[in-house]
Amino acid sequence: MENVSLPIIDYAALSGAPEARRQMLAKLGQAAREVGFFYLTGHGLSEAQQQETLALAARFFALPEQEKRTVQMVHSPHFRGYNQVGAELTRARPDRREQFDIMGEEAAIGADALHQPWQRLTGPNQWPAALPGMKAQLLDWQARLTDITLGLLSAFAEVLEQPAEVFDASIRGAPYQHMKLIHYPGREVGSSDQGVGAHKDPGYLTLVMQDDHSGLEVETANGWISAPPLPGALVVNIGELLELASNGYLKATLHRVVSPPPGVSRLSCAFFMAARLDATVPLLTLSPALAAEAQGPESDPTNPLFYQVGENVLKGRLRSHPDVAARHYPSSQEQGTLRREALPA
């Protein structure tokens, strides 16, 4: 295994003895501010349980192409389902990965209650008939990952010297959930090495579970560094919503995945937690000491940021999946509705 390059946070210590907790909270704040990425241990998910999820991913991606295409994402206005290699774009370039996306299992909002394009993100998942146990297993796994992110979000409230319930209004009922099973095939001669291009995540927090192969890279002040798998640990990164909420005190960090070498197949599972789609990100009032280090969220004209959560999530979905956008959201594309209330550059 390569040398570990990211800070390591012990999740169990965040609810442990007072002194250990104080030290771990300080370490968490430093990791989130200086790197925006860290390894998470002590989270309660055994390596065996993690391997079960990756084994399920392997079974799904091994299905005949025809079986996988029955649950293609293009069939879903809610951006759920399967994408073949090259179907998802990052910065307008195809990613060399295939994936299966789920979100919260919900009923679609009726046409008479639809008032904003982002409301169509709510809806049911697609499930392959060939793997009847997949639904229960993945929804249970998603629920367990959600609990971990909610615990971390509470810890970040303390790091930011806020009341413990400061984020509650934005996640009350249920936060936005989005999980991907991902397969990165080995690169081919002459092909791009873009497993997934450089990007930031739109939510509050992201958890990534990796197999034994490296590929994830993180941009730092000293250039790109590898985030190799650490047995049993999850990789956590800060999303745009925490950057917005903290007025830039915490930073969402660019990251990418490099395709594995020829003949090597890489599997991972990524979970993204955000505020409810109908919520607005709270702009926190920081203490003078923290405010002095908060320089505002990073404004990128190619990636507008929205305090309205549904807009912030949907803009990424539309750019990443032009086939779904063309079929289900033509008016959103034509009228540019997602640029109405972007954070000013």
Distance CA 77, CA 120 (A): 7
* % of residues, the chain, pLDDT over 90: 83
The whole-number pLDDT of residue 244 equals 92
Structure tokens at 123: 């809806």
- pLDDT classification of 337: cutoffs 50, 70, 90: very low
How confident is the model over 123-138, as a mean pLDDT? Answer: 97
How confident is the model over 190-194, as a mean pLDDT? Answer: 85
Give, rounded to a whole angstrom, the gap between the first and last alpha carbons of the chain.
Answer: 41
Longest dimension (CA), the chain: 58
Structure confidence by residue, pLDDT tens digits, 23-40 = 999 999 999 999 999 999
Distance CA 77, CA 261 (A): 34
The whole-number pLDDT of residue 332 equals 57
13 Cα distance to chain centroid: 24
Mean pLDDT taken over the chain: 92
How confident is the model over 189-203, as a mean pLDDT? Answer: 89
CB 142 within 8 A of CB 179: yes
CB 258 within 8 A of CB 215: yes
The whole-number pLDDT of residue 3 equals 54
Range scoring the smallest mean pLDDT among 43-52, 153-162, 163-172, 302-311: 302-311
**What DSSP assignment string belongs to 188-214?**
-TT---EEEEEE--SSSEEEEEE-S--
How confident is the model over 190-215, as a mean pLDDT? Answer: 93
Number of alpha helices (DSSP H) and beta strands (DSSP E) in the chain: 10, 14
The H or E element spanning position 147 is helix 134-159
Distance CA 213, CA 211 (A): 6
Distance CA 154, CA 163 (A): 9
Structure confidence by residue, pLDDT tens digits, 76-118 = 999 999 999 999 999 889 999 999 999 999 999 999 999 999 9
Q: Give how far Cα 287 sits from Cα of 156, 201, 245, 292, 333, Å.
A: 14, 26, 14, 8, 40
pTM for the whole structure: 0.94
Structure tokens at 47: 């390596």
- pLDDT classification of 173: cutoffs 50, 70, 90: confident
Determine the residue type at 341: E
How confident is the model over 241-254, as a mean pLDDT? Answer: 94
User: What does the H/E/C string look like for 307-336?
Assistant: CEHHHHHHHHHHHHCHHHHHHHCHHHHHHC
How many residues make up the chain in this entry?
345
CB 131 within 8 A of CB 63: yes
- pLDDT classification of 345: cutoffs 50, 70, 90: very low
Closest to 276 measured CA to CA, from 165, 177, 152: 177
